Amino acid sequence: MKVCAIIPIAPSEPNTLVEKSIKSLNDLDYSGLNFEAYYVIDSGGKERNALDRLLPPNFHIVTRNDNRGRRAGAINDVLNVIGEADYITLFDVDSRPNADFLTECVRELTTTSDGVLASGCRFVTNKVNTLTKIVSVEYKFFCDIYRLCRWSGGFIQFNGAIGVSKAAFLRSTGFDERCSCEDLDLNEQIYLSGSRALLVNAKVGEQAPTSIQDLYNQRVRWFRGAVEGFRKYLAPMLTKSVPVLVKITWLSSLTVPFFSFLLAPFVPIYLRAIRAESDTLSESLAILFGLMGHTCLMTLCGVVAVGQHLASRKREWTEITRSEV
């Protein structure tokens, strides 16, 4: 079986981070798989020639002359040049999957007839300050939601289109380059087609925003994706023969985050996870109250996203400051 990985690289990403990505993906267990990786680099004036000497034989660099469609555009462009493949896996430059991530996802897809996308829980790799640790606890909450949806057969929405997809499905749908969140749009198309996303036990690490401004910009974009998804897919989701539980959990995944502040009293439920992220009692308290504030910030981001949508404001892409991990 042939598996092709696509990793879009924005002009602002440092070469050192790309080098770490190459090492991380080369360390994956892809025994029994014909694995190739394609790094899609948008033009931007950054010198990338030094990366050539680091590439294993099955790794390739594809250069685009623009950044049309950002991540979605990069994926669409490479889908047309990689040739035949059974599975396509998508990563970001900061993705740090467990060694068994590929084999676990492929195994799940080959044994589940209606599954077309497989992925795992996320974990934070750059726990450099209180904010990133707050996001780390939040990701554990997301993981619990994934597991609940897997158990119940509900709508699973992975944050980020990181995972392994059946190539035929991904080629047939592609990515809508106009969307704020191409990952949400893809998941909605999956369930509307009568297929589903699968949660595996292997996990994948990624970086959390290190500043309030970066977090705010990221989450406003996420909420813009929810608003767009609601407007685009509400009628099809309600009228098509999609399982009722999928309809309910899809609607909940799009609407509940706008009222995140209501979850603030329930933050102490994750006290054990908070303690695991902390070295001292004072740090535990900072994360605890930070999470409560985080729920309010998420509601604010939702309000801003709705306002931008109603004002027909063009979405703005902002780069997030990366850590060297």
Structural fold of domain 2-310: Spore Coat Polysaccharide Biosynthesis Protein SpsA; Chain A (3.90.550)
Read off the pLDDT of residues 46-55 as tens digits, 9 standing for 90 and up: 566 667 777 8
Question: Confidence class of residue 27 from pLDDT cuts 50, 70 and 90?
Answer: very high
Whether the predicted pLDDT of 187 surpasses 80: yes
Question: Confidence class of residue 65 from pLDDT cuts 50, 70 and 90?
Answer: confident
Least confident window among 156-160, 222-226, 228-232: 156-160
Hey, what are 53's tokens?
Answer: 């000497």
Delimit the domains of the chain by residue range: 2-310
Question: Confidence class of residue 45 from pLDDT cuts 50, 70 and 90?
Answer: low
Whether the predicted pLDDT of 316 surpasses 70: no
* Helices within the chain (DSSP H only): 15-26, 70-79, 101-111, 130-152, 167-173, 182-192, 212-239, 244-255, 271-276, 281-310
Whether the predicted pLDDT of 269 surpasses 70: yes
Question: In terms of Cα–Cα distance, which of 172, 15, 320, 30 is closest to 39?
Answer: 15
Mean pLDDT across the stretch 259-278?
96
Read off the pLDDT of residues 283-313 as tens digits, 9 standing for 90 and up: 999 999 999 999 999 999 999 999 998 887 7
Secondary structure of 41-105 in HEC code, one letter for each residue: EECCCCCCHHHHHHCCCCEEEEEECCCCCHHHHHHHHHHCCCCCCCEEEECCCCCEECCCHHHHH
Q: Which residue matches tokens 């695991």?
A: 276
More confident residue, 225 or 317: 225
pLDDT of 49? 66
Mean pLDDT across the stretch 125-134?
95
Question: In terms of Cα–Cα distance, which of 156, 320, 135 is closest to 246?
Answer: 156
pLDDT of 47? 61
Whether the predicted pLDDT of 180 surpasses 90: no
Whether the predicted pLDDT of 16 surpasses 90: no
Whether the predicted pLDDT of 82 surpasses 90: no
Hey, what are 277's tokens?
Answer: 């992220």
Coil vs helix vs strand at 307? helix
- The chain-wide mean pLDDT, for the chain, equals 91
